[in-house]
Copies of this chain bind each other. A is one copy, B any other.
């Protein structure tokens, strides 16, 4: 998606440890117009699939998922990372290791909101090593729902998580795939 790639090139900053900062439009300040264009792009790619639910993970996936959900006319369910008095009853859970936060945490989805009747599109802002996505796929599998695929804003292709999942037959549509990046360059996959 050209518009997203341009924003990454003009506003993104590459930091040590494979960090790409895009906090001016994606995951701290959020450009709702851009999210809306991303929603159109995902809808175009998944228009033949009868998505019934969008699943994402807190926190930075939620904004994109909600704007994307307007284009599919379905609700969003977000997996929770923290224990909460507001989360009780039967849960699907899966452990995820976060390199960003350098710890493992359990993600949780209430069993009420995912079932075998659902056809699920997973939406997230980033895909790097794939740990978060694998955790969400595990939860979807537990629920018996059909995984249609994933829609990712920025995939760090050089970290391999996306391609490893594609090799397992999982459909992953990323709007910008970065194959290489350094302090003064970002190279997208064609």
Q: Which residues of A contact B (CB under 8 A)?
A: 15, 17, 19, 21, 23-25, 27-32, 35-36, 58-59, 62-63, 65-67, 69-70, 73-78, 80-88, 100-102, 109-110, 112-113
B30 pairs with A86, CB closer than 8 A:
no
Chain multiplicity (copies): 2
Please indicate which of the listed interface residues A27, A74, A76, A85 has the most CB atoms of chain B within 10 Å of its own CB.
Answer: A85
B69 pairs with A32, CB closer than 8 A:
yes
A63 pairs with B86, CB closer than 8 A:
no
> Per a CB cutoff under 8 Å, which of B27, B75, B100, B113 touches A85?
B100
Contacts of A100 in B (CB 8 A): 84-86
- 7 smallest beta-carbon distances between A and B, as pairs: A58-B59, A63-B66, A59-B59, A62-B62, A29-B113, A30-B76, A32-B69
User: Shortest Cβ distance from A62 into chain B, in angstroms?
Assistant: 4
User: Shortest Cβ distance from A144 into chain B, in angstroms?
Assistant: 17
A29 pairs with B70, CB closer than 8 A:
no
Contacts of A112 in B (CB 8 A): 23-24, 29
Contacts of A24 in B (CB 8 A): 112-113
